[in-house]
Amino acid sequence: MPRFAANLTLLFTEVPMPERAAYAAQAGFDGIEVLFPYDMPVPDWERALAGLPLALINTPPGDWISGDRGFAARPGDEAVFRDGFLRAADYATRLGGAQIHVMAGVAKGPQAEAAYVENLAWAAAQAPELRLCIEPMNPEDMPGYFLNDYDQAGRILADLGCARVGLQFDLWHAARLHGDAAAVWARHEPVISHVQIAGFPARNEPGGGGFSLPALCDAVDALPAQPVWISAEYRPARGTAQGLAWLTALKSRGQPIG
């Protein structure tokens, strides 16, 4: 059975960030992920997590309000990317994080791809104890983002040739980009190292997108890269706790009756 993480940036927003990990544990999640943990010092996160595993964090995006979405694929911003990556690696190492999502940023063209591959190789060499991943994002939600196609991501990973850099499969983005999320999975299954789920098309509680949740769990169990987390990254339609029937159903699969 896969392990399930709560994305604390989107879930349990009814309470302050330092309290959300405890709510996630009480709700039945096995761990957490957080998009950008950098507003809280590591000791505060250690107290908040209280031993709950950290599945994934993102590299610092830069000034989000001004349109920054990371720097790894931005030629000329190598120093900014590398400073940010080292900060992410410090957080992940000290908090026992399983993986770092390396954000590409807003860019396009062959020079951007060359910068991306070079920066990914550099990052993997700097943090040999950590796993890294990349994630394609749809242009409606992330305008101008360099990595916007799963086949493009597969080619970049093949060119990189590093087993510690994998593919983050986000069911929401896969369905938005390619229509059939299950077909995307089938094409790229060998390199998938982290999974995120959300309902399609509303991005509320998980379900839809052409890939049933039980089938997705079975597919995760069969992945060559283990362990692989399934992270809930969605916007609750109501309060978070009121919409967790999907988690209860999935975690009860295979349990004896009576």
Query: With contact defined as beta carbons under 8 Å apart, do 24 and 47 qualify?
Result: no
How many residues are listed for the chain in this entry? 258
Long-range contacts of 237-243 (CB under 8 A, 24+ apart): 237/202, 237/204, 237/205, 239/14, 240/11, 240/12, 240/13, 240/14, 240/23, 240/27, 241/23, 241/27, 243/204, 243/205
Distances (CA, A) of 85 to 68, 125, 198, 254: 15, 12, 27, 40
For residue 65 the two structure tokens come to: 């309000």
Report, as residue numbers or ranges, the catalytic residues: 135, 233
